[in-house]
Chain A
Amino acid sequence: MSDTSRYGLVLGALAALTAILFLLSLTVGPAALGFSDSIAALFSDKSGAIELIMGEIRLPRALLGLMVGATLGLSGAALQGYLRNPLAEPGLIGVSASASLGAVIAIYSGLAAIFPLALPLSALAAAVLAVVVVQSLAGLRGSTLTIILAGVAVSSFAGAMTSLALNLSPNPFAALEIMFWMLGSLTDRSMTHVWLALPFMLAGWLMLAMLGRALDALTLGNETAASMGIDMRRVQFLAVFGTASAVGAATAVAGAIGFVGLVVPHMLRPLVGARPSRLLPASALGGACMLLAADILVRVIAPERDLKLGVLTAIVGAPFFLWLVYRTRRKLA
């Protein structure tokens, strides 16, 4: 089988799996609805209880799972390719930690209680601020190392400010709310969240998708890529702002969800012949699969306990990552 047809098969299988998981996500939940009833309710004009549950609770949840997962997978693959480092993940450039801080400020100040959209908006604003700081620290000809270091510095600062907010929290309920929000979840989101995140995610996806050719060339290092006609300033701009836009929006609506952006590109890399441009769409689909599956699992495992999505991805993701490291340690050495 040729290289290209194998790649087509991988993408097809991932797309089919994504579609199945999306449908499952729509039909699994505490309200015991039949599969055909719930799907029919999505397309009906009636305004009964089933229609309300499907349109206002399940659909936004499944859509956000799809969008957030694709964002994390795609930006993880793009950042690993851009930084030529298999340990890169979407949070590396400081976007996740800053978006969390923005959300925490909204909860802490009480703004989120007065005006619900204040939380995602504040998170997005903080993500934008963080990426502007990282980009200006790194400069136009910034090396990838400067970007990583600037990202680490911004992340640490945002983490410290978040801790400060928890530390000074006026009452335990605010602290609990902050903690729960930071664990990452897709519960109780509405279509408003979908519409808020979608434009930023689309812009981010578009920018990251334009990186394909450049990421392939970057396999040979910055200088060789530049000698092959790749404009490194453009690549840096697209990678940093594309990740910031998509991941900032994802964190703003779902909180910080770890490991998906790190593990998914690793799992899929061998299946696409390690080619960075091919890893982008595969990893986007893979990320969507993983997040949808995890979000279905939290509903199945502990329907009453409101298990947080971010907790599950970390619990499953970390041992899996250990196993990956164990399997590839000889190649990494």
Chain B
Amino acid sequence: MLLDVQNLKASLGKRQVLNGISFSVMPGEFIGLIGPNGAGKSTLLRALLGLIPSQGAVALGTLDAPHVGARERALHMAYVAQEREIAWAVPVEMLVSLGRSPHRPGFAALTATDRAAVERAMQRMEVDGFRERAATELSGGEKARVLIARALAQETPLLLADEPTAGLDPSHQITLMRLFAELAASERSVVASLHDLGLAARWCTRLLLIDGGRIVADGPPADVLTAETLRTVYGVEAFFGESAGGLVVQPLDLVAETGVLP
């Protein structure tokens, strides 16, 4: 088991955002974290990383998370934040190589292993073509890919990503989903919060539907994404279909007035 979470609770200010979340992640899973705005998806990811205080038990493999040092945790899981913050005009390649910092002791320079990992990550995200450019001068989508490459270079068993597809064009959205699926196929795991139900339905191996700080559905996409759950949780009607051997979900309209609007 890569990650085991029991009864995780967290508050932001006075508001309780996570009300007892329990789930575990096995190797080879690509988990989509879905739910309406304010459901607690980002808070869950940040609590798992220890970025905000939380109560409950989080185990990383065989390690008990509260007793794990920051660097050890960084060797276990990488994180792609929602905000695409790049403070200085550093070259793309240097930025991606930051992902290797938990692997490097003290003031050590990049080793051949580090360079190979950086190269692999840049090729996977197709950013090796502009490695010399200043990261602050890139377009939003290019920045997003560079930041994901940075997390890939960390080469951790578990990758957490907060809305990684936001701002990407369809081709790069699919490339990213395909990449996450490939990572899962090679026994690494990905937990990504997603707003695009169509992508979630088609590419994830498992979905966690979160609402009001609780997990309201957990299972394969076809079991989680039903007309009933979309109506009650999102308040939308959706088209369900099947194409090329995969599930197709397309939200169409708000639930009619007579329905259970949130």
Contact = CB atoms under 8 A, between A and B. Distances in A.
A226 B81 CA distance: 11
Interface stretch (B58-66, B89-97, B172-180, B201-209): B89-97
Contacts, number: 86
Interface in B110-151: 134, 136, 147, 150
B71 interface: yes
Interface stretch (B32-40, B98-106, B182-190): B98-106
Given A218-B87, A220-B150, A223-B51, A231 B101 contact: no
B95 A229 contact: no
Interface residues of B, number: 35
A224 interface: yes
Interface stretch (B16-24, B72-80, B237-245): B72-80
Interface string A201-240: 0000000000011001111110110111111000000000
Given A220-B147, A269-B88, A228 B83 contact: no
Q: Majority SS of interface residues in chain B?
A: mixed
A50 B40 CA distance: 74
B94 A226 contact: no
A227 B136 CA distance: 21
Contact of A223 (B46, B75, B89): B46
B88 A275 contact: yes
Interface string A115-148: 0000000000000000000000000000000000
Contact of A219 (B75, B88, B99, B107): B88
Contact residue range for chain A? 20 to 34
A300 interface: no
A229 B147 contact: no
B75 A229 contact: yes
B84 to A, nearest CB: 9
Nearest to A227: B79
B94 A84 contact: no
Interface string A81-106: 00010000000000000000000000
8 contacts: A219-B88, A219-B95, A220-B86, A220-B95, A223-B51, A229-B70, A273-B94, A331-B89
Interface of B: 46, 49-51, 69-75, 77-79, 81, 83, 85-91, 94-95, 98-99, 101-102, 107, 134, 136, 147, 150, 154
Interface of A: 3, 84, 212-213, 216-221, 223-224, 226-231, 269-270, 273-276, 331
